[in-house]
Structure 1
Amino acid sequence: MPKRGYHHGNLKQALVDAALSLITEKGPTGFTLSEAAKQAGVTPAAVYRHFEGREDLIIECALQGHAIFGDLMEYAYRNGQPSALAAFEATGRAYLAFARKYPGHYMAMFESGLSRHATPELSRAVARSRGILEQAAEQLSQHIPADRRPPATMFSSHIWAMSHGVVELFARGNPGGNAPFPPEDLLEAGIGIYLRGLGLVAPDAD
């Protein structure tokens, strides 16, 4: 693979871009700082001008990923109206779209073993994207009396896990990942079944 270099002068971003390429190719733990430096066209020592080590570099990849992810989730939620169900389902589709378009970011965010509290900045970025899904979940459950309403954090986390499972099994081209139905259809059907089981979808929402 040819060196990317940093002709624009932004060494930090050149290293992030190199790391994202390597993460996509080898996974978040399958590359070294020296490989990232080589792909960026700099010496290994240059990495330490901006990053203390590989984990620090992956954190930056994850941080940038969460910023993009949060924007996509927010856009999907706001444009997924007119119904609360449509908005909620739109955030699920945005999850799949993000995983496909930004695989390096996705793996840095969700498959690197990083704690969401690794840095204050990362914690805030994670809270933003999760908060959008929880907001959609809260809106979806408004028709249920408060004393019988399931916690929005709980069922939004279940949907998050379902989305992640569809990505891992069917949306990333992994071996055995050929699904009998499009990933979007699988996720939408799963969300619908789950929400109806909880009584979260009103009878006229079909």
Structure 2
Amino acid sequence: MNSTDVSRSCRRLVVLISAAVVVLLLVGVGVYGLVAGPRTTSDPPPAPSSPTAPTEPTRGPRELAPISETDDPEEFARTVAEALFGWDTTSGLMPLDYTSVLLAVADPSGVEQAGLASDIAGYLPNRDTWVELRKYSTTQNLEITDVFVPEAWAEAESQAQPGQLAPGTTAYTVEGVRHRQGVWNDEATSSAHEVAFTIFLTCPPDGAPCFLLRLSVLDQPLR
């Protein structure tokens, strides 16, 4: 499939998903995130009476590892999920650095890039929050507990007209536990919060690497 075909298929995907919203809502499935983008849900922790002084990096920002290429959709979904939730405010990096890693495996036609960037912003702290979290040496990672193709995706596929979805396009819902660690009042602390979300991706049947299309609203996955 050439870039023109991919671009056309991605546009059709957006139209299909928008048209399918009413149908899917009737069976209790929301795909609002693909239309409007996720809400920002990363809030700073409550400030203690005497925050730990921020630790200034003694070296330059570390380089983030790219997302490994694969033609396995579940493996790709897992890797994207871990990259989406894995960050370290003491690394010398900023949220845009983590966003860039995800955009590097986005729809190669560029059609979905702006929407995907907006989706990712709903999962990462904004710049001001990041600076605040850095005062507490905050890090985050995701413990994945389940990854599956939601039943609602099968219904969306059944509503599609021939050629409306690019071959290899699918959705994976990821369930897991978001872990945060940090230092408050010179003491290590941590928190855990269950999360769920859906990743929309395409793995071309010709064996080309999978690429990322969009993300659902955090905690509003397809089921």
TM-score after normalising by structure 1:
0.33
More strand by share: 2
TM-score after normalising by structure 2:
0.31
Greater RCO (Cα-Cα under 8 Å, separation 6 or more): 2
